[in-house]
Amino acid sequence: MSFTFIIDRRQRSWILTFLTSAYLSLHSIPVFLKILSKNYVILSDSEMSLHITNFFLIHLILDLILGILFYFEFLKPLEGIFHHVFYIILLCIFKFCRMTNAFYMFIWCEIPTFIMAVGIMFPNYKWKRGFKISFLLLRIYLFIYMSIEYLKDCNYFVLSLIPPTVISIMHIHWYLQLKN
């Protein structure tokens, strides 16, 4: 099996996403264990959740700017532009409301992105089935379950379901596109 690395513009456009998703996927392990232990406070900040939120916010801004400037032909309206702008606004709201733990608890949603980025940057290691399965399990089923589970006791339950509902609709739409 040969090892090829970054040979075309599409692969170069994924360098930042590859590095960011690898970093966030690794950070998802301790937070996921904490969630399983039922010792997680969603409506608050922690030093790590602020760090991860700032890190992802910078990634989104840089990725969007670089995409517009250098890789515009690869940007799709929903997956590229709307997705980035929506998350930039949402993360700013989380920071303002001091509830970055609400974002931090979902960083494991970056695992499918990491799997896809590996396949794009290293075509010999493309794993379509792994990406699709992880996307379905993590970004749709587990995301919806965790959103409802952790927000059901929230004072503003209906209002707090708006971001997860929009995110779930985007993820379901993308998953249905994967199947076609």
Query: pLDDT tens digits for 95-136?
Result: 998 989 889 999 999 999 999 999 998 888 999 999 999 999
Three-class DSSP category at 166: helix
Query: pLDDT tens digits for 30-88?
Result: 888 888 887 777 778 899 999 999 999 999 999 999 999 998 888 888 888 999 999 99
pTM, 2 dp: 0.87
* E strands present in the chain: none
Three-class DSSP category at 84: helix
Judging by beta carbons within 10 Å of its beta carbon (0-12, 13-18, 19+), is residue 80 exposed, middle or buried? middle
